[in-house]
């Protein structure tokens, strides 16, 4: 399943996004790709929602990855070293290919 949030992933939008992640992981798919190509700003609340989603997927024996990180958001991942925590792909296609391998194994 691919989720594509848009705009800002900050204190005002992180909680609804977190709930959407939970719903997807628990009801629709344990394997989630978050495409951040449309997210031009992310703060600590947004990062927290992504970490929580990753943990939920891992608890359910699923997979979680991020792709297509907007250049302005990418800096936040690098400064916070979250780029070492998440599996991040350049394109959605690469992420989906990796997800397919996770499902197969």
Q: What is the mean pLDDT of each run of 10 residues along the chain (105 residues)?
A: 95 96 86 95 97 94 94 93 96 89 61
2-104 has which fold?
Answer: Transcription Regulator spoIIAA (3.30.750)
Query: What pLDDT does 104 receive?
Result: 58
Q: Rounded to whole angstroms, what are the CA distances from 68 to 33, 35, 61, 104?
A: 10, 6, 24, 23
Domain spans of the chain, in order of start: 2-104
Task: Report how far residue 94's alpha carbon sits from residue 24's, in angstroms, rounded to the nearest whole number.
Answer: 20
Task: Report how far residue 64's alpha carbon sits from residue 46's, in angstroms, rounded to the nearest whole number.
Answer: 15
- Which of 33, 53, 5 has the alpha carbon at shortest distance from 100? 33
In this structure, are residues 28 and 1 in contact, taking their beta carbons and an 8 Å threshold? yes
Query: What pLDDT does 9 receive?
Result: 97
């Amino acid at each position: 399943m691919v989720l594509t949030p848009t705009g800002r992933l900050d204190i005002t939008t992180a909680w609804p996004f977190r709930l959407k992640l939970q719903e997807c992981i628990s009801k629709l798919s344990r394997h989630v790709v978050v495409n951040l190509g449309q997210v031009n700003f992310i703060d600590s609340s947004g990062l927290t929602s992504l970490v929580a989603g990753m943990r939920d997927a891992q608890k359910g024996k699923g997979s979680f990855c991020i792709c297509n990180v907007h250049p302005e958001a990418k800096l936040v991942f690098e400064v916070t070293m979250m780029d070492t925590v998440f599996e991040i792909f350049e394109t959605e296609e690469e992420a989906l290919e990796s997800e397919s391998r996770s499902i197969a194994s």
